[in-house]
Structure 1
Amino acid sequence: MSSFVIKSIGNALNATSLISSKYASKKALHLFASPRKGRYTDNQETIVDSAKFETLSHNEYNIATYHWQGHGPTILLAHGWESNASRWSYILNDLKAQEYNIIALDAPAHGKSSGRQFNAVLYADCISVVAKKFEPEVILGHSVGGMATIFSLHNYNLPFVNKIVSLGAPAHFSGVFSRYKSMMGYNKRISKGLDNIVYERFGKPVDYFSAANFTKTIEAEGLIIHDKKDKIIPFEDALLFANRYKNSELIETEGFGHGLKDASLTPKIIEFINR
């Protein structure tokens, strides 16, 4: 959406909040949690066609999974917002060459998974369902996929996971939420209303959901990769991870953007997995 459209929607909801702040806040959260893209295009379908396809269930959700069989360690791939399992095409051949047993999933409301709404807590639940079936030794998570991976390890007993690769992941949900509120230009009524809805739904305040803080409970070894000029998730988030995730190392990049799809990173990821 253009900045004009974004601000127009924000202004309309601000006006609505003068009548009912709760209604306007619910609409604002619905907008925040509704991906506008992430379902497969025809070209993206060809990337996952070679995998064994299977759906797993979590409550009312069907979770799409893709399996490229190998004899090495099992690797689980968790994509980010408005994406799907095809985003890993740039690294798949290198992982296959290592004979890794590769699993990828589509997040709720993305790819071939069911649902229309998405949040990191739900994604963490789905990651745990997939992880408990396939028992990966390593999880690679991009952006919110990295955040949800850490949520999942914090919330569930997944002792078979001994390594995490986090690519451009947000360190805390409060930062993501704050940037959304600022982008939309929401007033204080909606901002407070959004925080209240999160507390009502999850029983915790927004600032509780800090992936950086959750790493303190995680024993798995971590590799944090983040671009210094990431325009989506600030590099400061990577520094928070590095400061609090004691069993981790940080690779700083410059010029690779938020996607971090650069061939020079692949050998470093493979070296981390294999050591």
Structure 2
Amino acid sequence: MNKHLVKTIGSFINFISFLSPYYAAKLAVKIFSTPRKGKLNDDETNYLKSAAQETITYKDVPIKTYCWSGKKDTILLVHGWESNAFRWKDLIKILKSEDYNIIALDAPAHGDSGSKIFNAVLYSECINLVIKQFNPSIVIGHSIGGTASALAINNHELPVKKLVLLGAPSNFDEVIDNYVKIMGYNKKVIKAINDYYLKHFGYFPEFYAIQNFSKNIQAKGLIIHDKKDRIISYKDALHISKYYKNSKLIKTAGFGHGLKNETVYKHILEFLNT
């Protein structure tokens, strides 16, 4: 959205908050939870045809999964916001050459999966279902996909042996705060959003922080984060590292939030082979 449209929508929702705070929050959360990108284009669809595909359903949400068979450990690849399974193409090539068994999924409202709405809690439950279906010993997650993976592993005490977090946020309320600032929401909208999350998810957004969902994670961890990441601050990696005791932090420079780089892939392979 361009800046003028963002300002207009933010002002409208601020106005609505004086009439109905709950409805204002519902609109704000819907905007926040609706991806504008991430659906598959023709090239991405054609590439993903190289995998064996299966759809599993979480409640009423169909989740598309992709499998490239191999004889070594099973690895689950979990993408982030406004992306899809295709984002792993380069890493998949490397992992296939090492003969790993590779699983990837499209998040709700992304790729070829169903739903129009995405949130990290929903994603974590879908990840839990996929892990129970395919039993990976290794999970690699990018951005919010990494955080949702950690949430799933912690909440369901899943027997994952290794977890790689790439450019992952350490908490969800900071992501929401950034959204609130961009939209220019007033205090009534902010309070209403917090109340909305408490009603529908059982917790305020600040509950979803690494110190609250790392206690049951037994998996050995690798955290990779770029110090010039403009989407998720490097401070988030330091925060994750502080509470995720069984983990190693690697700082990169110049690879941005995407972390699509041979150096990053080398770090991942070294971690997988130790």
TM-score interval, normalised by the smaller of the two chains? over 0.9
Partner of 1:189: 188
- Matches of 1:25 and 1:215 in 2, distance apart? 29
Look up the match of 2:87.
Answer: 87
Shift in CA distance, 139/186, structure 1 to aligned 2, threshold 3 Å: same
Tell whether the 8 Å contact from 2:157 to 2:217 is kept in structure 1 after alignment: no
Deviation, 1:212, is: 4.5
Equivalent residue, structure 2, for 1:127: 127
CA distance in 1, matches of 2:264, 2:178: 28
CA–CA distance in structure 2, aligned partners of residues 199 and 21 of structure 1: 14
1:239 alignment counterpart? 238
CA distance in 2 between counterparts of 1:223 and 1:2 reads 36
Deviation (angstroms), 1:21: 1.6
Distance 1:230 1:212, change over 3 A: farther
CA distance in 1, matches of 2:101, 2:236: 30
Shift of 1:11: 1.0
CA offset at residue 157 of structure 1? 3.0
CA distance in 2, matches of 1:5, 1:229: 28
Amino acid at match of 1:266: Y
Tell me, yes or no, if structure 1 residue 74 matches structure 2 residue 74.
Answer: yes
Aligned equivalents of 2:211 and 2:84: distance in 1? 24
Determine the structure 2 residue equivalent to 1:109: 109
- Structure 2 counterpart SS, 1:18: helix
1:27 aligns with 2:27: yes
Aligned 8 A contact 1:79 1:107 in 2: yes
2:15 match = 15
- How far is the alpha carbon of 1:46 from its aligned partner? 2.1
Taking the aligned partners of 1:170 and 1:253, their CA distance within structure 2 comes to 16
Task: After the TM superposition, list the runs of 4 or more consecutive aligned residues in structure 1 that deviate by more than 6 angstroms.
Answer: none
**C-alpha distance in 2 between matches for 1:199 and 1:47:** 41
- Aligned counterpart, 1:202: 201
Letter paired with 1:119: N
Deviations 1:133-188 (A, max 9, x none): 111010000001001001101111311x1000000011001111111101110000
Contact preservation (8 Å) 2:34, 2:117: yes
TM-score (norm 2): 0.98
Identity %: 47
AA at the equivalent of 2:36: R
Task: Find the residue that maps to 2:139 and give its secondary structure.
Answer: strand
Structure 2 CA distance for aligned equivalents of residues 213 and 10 of structure 1: 31
1:100 maps to what in 2? 100
> For the Cα contact (< 8 Å) 2:157–2:216, is it kept in 1?
no
Displacement of 1:12: 1.3
Does the CA-based 8 Å contact 1:146-1:167 persist in structure 2? yes
Q: What are the Cα deviations for residues 243-263 of structure 1, in whole angstroms up to 9, with x where unaligned?
A: 111100001011111101111
Q: Partner of 1:217: helix, strand, or coil?
A: coil
CA shift, 1:242, in A, is 0.9
Task: Provide the C-alpha distance between the structure 1 equivalents of 2:181 and 2:82, rounded to a whole number of angstroms.
Answer: 20
How many residue pairs are counted as aligned between the two chains? 274
Alignment deviations for residues 208-264 of structure 1 (CA, whole Å, 9 cap, x no partner) = 111344223211000001111111111110000111111000010111111011111
Match of 1:167 in 2: 166
1:219 is aligned to 218
Aligned 8 A contact 1:216 1:246 in 2: no
Tell me the CA shift for residue 265 of structure 1: 1.1
SS at match of 2:222: strand
Aligned to 2:48: 48
Q: Give the root-mean-square deviation of aligned CA atoms.
A: 0.9
| Contact 1:213/1:244 (8 A) holds in 2 | no
Structure 2 unaligned segments of length 5 or more: list them.
none
